[in-house]
Amino acid sequence: MTDPVGRNRLDDEQSPYLRQHADNPVNWQPWDDTALEAAREADKPIFLSIGYSACHWCHVMADESFSDPDIAETLNEHFVPVKVDREERPDLDRIYQTICQLVTGGGGWPLSVWLTPQGKPFFVGTYFPPEPRRGAPGFRDLVESFAESWQTDRDEIENRAQQWTSAIHDQLEDTPDTPGEAPGSEILEQTVQAALRAADRDDGGFGGGPKFPQPGRIDALLRGYAITGRRQALDVAVESLDAMANGGLRDHLGGGFHRYCVDKDWTVPHFEKMLYDQAGLVPRYLDTYRLTGTEAYADVAAETFEFVRRELSHDDGGFFATLDAQSGGEEGTFYVWTPDEVRSLLPELEADLFCDRYGVTPGGNFENKTTVLNVSATLSDLAEEYDISEDEVEDKLAEARKALFAARSGRERPARDEKILAGWNGLMISAFAQGAVALEDDSLADDARRALDFVREHLWDADAGHLSRRVMNGEVKGDGYLEDYAFLARGAFDLYQATGDVDPLAFALDLARAIHREFYDDAAGTLYFTPESGEALVTRPQEATDQSTPSSLGVATSLFLDLEHFAPDAGFGEAADTVLETHANRIRGSPLEHVSLALAAEKAASGVPELTVAADEMPAEWHETLASRYLPGLVVAPRPATDDGLDAWLDELELDEAPPIWAAREADGGEPTVYACENFTCSAPTHDIDEALAWFTAGRDD
């Protein structure tokens, strides 16, 4: 009888990460019933390797160990080797990363886990060199050791596996027997205080190297400043945003941001570009543009949008997942420069200005004396040094960037992972929708709409109310997780707010109802990461903490609070309150690690400010006002001018009557009318949007 796992089966997969390993001599299996049943039937442990296509150390471990015939022979004979793309299976990644962090104090990719045939972990780590090095065990020795100990020390292994599985369950699935009191509005100040304590006031950002963007912390700081006027909060946010925009994290020629920087001062990045980083950072630059009026922040956002359009967009709509860090087998070579390369492409003055502006030196700041571009001189300093005007400096640098970008385009390009993930697309749709408002650019709303339509067409089953995780090359795979439903619903809701189109609002409500049905557990008082109808794993995880993406639990809770006003009978508000009570102690205990939940708690305590706009078309000056104001947490709720027009919307939304946010709020006197409301109190209807917005800070206290 043919061995179902007797060959490498990854050539049947669409994931670029899995296909990268299809030629390994290891008989890699995808995580599926065939592999799991084979492990149980043969009573073999599973070696699980989790990574993603742009992961540098994943490539290294593949070259060093997974391409080694002797290591492969041991893996194939004594284990069922399984490869997982963490972007396709974030549930598995969350479960096994958790035990890695509990046992080793850290995590990351590649994640290497040895499991019993039932999926219980008994040894875990990240990258292992093939032979022992600097105190790290060698992968070859580990494989051989566990092959033997599975036969000789089985009881010890299974006891450890059970203990570790119990620890995972306690960490990820269990909720308190007695809920706490949900945090009040003071939680925002506590979050801001924690962010200020963690801030690096010398180099920007938070903590030491490596430095990650942390957009959630910046969001909290900006909100804290807007509400309390505390200048230090704005200063730290601006210092962080400036450091990222001026340092090596940002691609100064092509736009967009890399994943993180390996050092403390933002000089050298890890060069992969992730869709979710663009989606997380752009709104923070837009917010800061609105708060400060500084055009440079709008420019950063606009350039990032252009990068996403150019490099990460499907022709039919939708956004791709990542660009690799490597090109030609070397990390960063697509992005770095030497003075000779610059001077071979530019006139002398432009070359001098460019090298001085971006720190391009003979010694370099990266490997092989190359330079990662960092802003190293101000325009005024260059103007003084070269005795020309700042405008001329700026014009010559713009021409230089254009020429070098064109030359760079001829280099071998980083590979692109063309998975279209529902959740990550939701984050980017939200960013484009916010950009359409802040930059007054309707084309950004058009891109958001095309992406939403693409995801909806390929991944949403309206009859079943089911969202799939990803589509690639026409193949749909995987159940959607909480992040997929919540992030996509948030993107759809933000598109409604930006455009006044009812269709994305209807979709947001459909997704929210599915979240309530599939992910909310009233008995446990929480929203789980995996659907009730999904695959049973060793535990059912929650995602309470913010990681490289926001906490899906926090995003869903905040979304419920917003949508409660459109569907008051759907149970959204009650579920949000319950979740915040369940997680009250962890939010208070570490608000910085639970930023999304903390901000949701502040919203629940302070109330959702609502701006209902009754108009068939919003006046242009109102668009200008909303573009220029930083109004954190504000829900803009357009509706038709008359109740007759609203009836068609209610039919599309399958609502029997107008929800509170629209009820009895027609256009007054046939003119566009705006209503401001918060905590069950409303302003008088007005034709002056500035008057309505002023009510939030003044009139509501009368």
pLDDT in tens, 152-181: 999 999 999 999 999 999 999 999 988 999
Do the bridges between strand 681-682 and strand 673-678 make them parallel or antiparallel, or are there none, so unpaired? antiparallel
Dihedrals phi, psi of 127, to nearest 5 degrees = -75, 135
What's the average model confidence in pLDDT over 563-574?
96
Q: What's the mean per-residue pLDDT of the chain?
A: 96
Residue pLDDT, tens place only, 39-87:
999 999 999 999 999 888 999 999 999 999 999 999 999 999 999 999 9
Is residue 81 within 8 A of residue 75, CB to CB? The reply is: yes
What's the average model confidence in pLDDT over 245-267?
98
What's the average model confidence in pLDDT over 404-412?
97
What's the average model confidence in pLDDT over 362-382?
98
Q: Is the pLDDT of residue 318 over 50?
A: yes
Surface-to-core class of residue 383, CB atoms within 10 Å of its CB (0-12 exposed, 13-18 middle, 19+ buried): middle
Q: Using alpha carbons only, what angle is made at residue 99 by residues 210 and 476, rounded to the nearest 5 degrees? A: 85
Contacts of 540 (CB under 8 A, 6+ apart): 172, 173, 528, 529, 530
pLDDT at 460: 98
Q: Is the pLDDT of residue 701 over 50?
A: no
Q: pLDDT band at residue 702, thresholds of 50, 70 and 90?
A: very low
Residue pLDDT, tens place only, 267-293:
999 999 999 999 999 999 999 999 999
Q: pLDDT band at residue 700, thresholds of 50, 70 and 90?
A: very low
Contacts of 554 (CB under 8 A, 6+ apart): 544, 546, 594, 595, 596, 597, 598, 599, 600
Name the residue with tokens 């494989």: 143
Q: Which of 29, 93, 85 is nearest to 52 (CA)?
A: 85
Judged by DSSP in three states, 410 sits in coil
Q: What's the distance, Cα to Cα, between the start and end of the chain in Å?
A: 82
Q: Which of 245, 476, 195 is nearest to 358 (CA)?
A: 245
Residue pLDDT, tens place only, 99-139:
999 999 999 999 999 999 999 999 999 999 999 998 889 99
Which H or E element spans position 695?
Answer: helix 689-697
Is residue 434 within 8 A of residue 485, CB to CB? The reply is: no
Residue pLDDT, tens place only, 191-229:
999 999 999 999 999 999 899 999 999 999 999 999 989
Structure tokens at 101: 């962090």
pLDDT at 698: 67
C-alpha span between 474 and 564 (Å, rounded):
35
pLDDT at 273: 97
Amino acid of residue 60: V
Residue pLDDT, tens place only, 520-547:
999 999 999 999 999 999 999 999 999 9
